[in-house]
Amino acid sequence: MAKYAILIYEDPTFYANMSPEAWGAVIDAHNAFTAQVYELGGSIESGGALASTTTATTIKGGGTVTDGPFVETKEAFGGFYVVEARDLDHAVEIGKLCPAPGGGVEVRPVVDPTTTNPF
């Protein structure tokens, strides 16, 4: 099994005025997703949600520190899962199930930089 990151990108305004019931439905969808990963024969190694981009601090080359996200985009990186899957096709199958109602997800292999140059 190989490791893949499922990166969740969504428009933060999608969640800005969400009711507690709607937020509960999002959490329920993520709980269902984690169950589906195991049903498909994969596993979840880790994951997490990130605080709003308004809380971000960016450090640019040369050590310049600024408040806020590095790039202004409509969709922001909001969370992730690291899953184990048989191959990329399996990881994409899993990624298609990941809830991202305010955007989408990106699936990327996780590499061991001590053995593989990721670039």
pTM of the model: 0.85
Residues forming beta bridges with residue 108, ordered by sequence position: 5
DSSP secondary structure string, 30-41? HHHHHHHHHHTT
Residue spans of the domains in the chain: they are 2-109
The band of 71, judged by pLDDT with boundaries at 50, 70 and 90, is low
33-37, 78-82, 104-108, 111-115: lowest mean pLDDT where? Answer: 111-115
Predicted confidence at residue 58, as pLDDT, reads 78
CATH 3.30.420.10 matches 2-109 = no
Residue 93: is its pLDDT beyond 90? yes
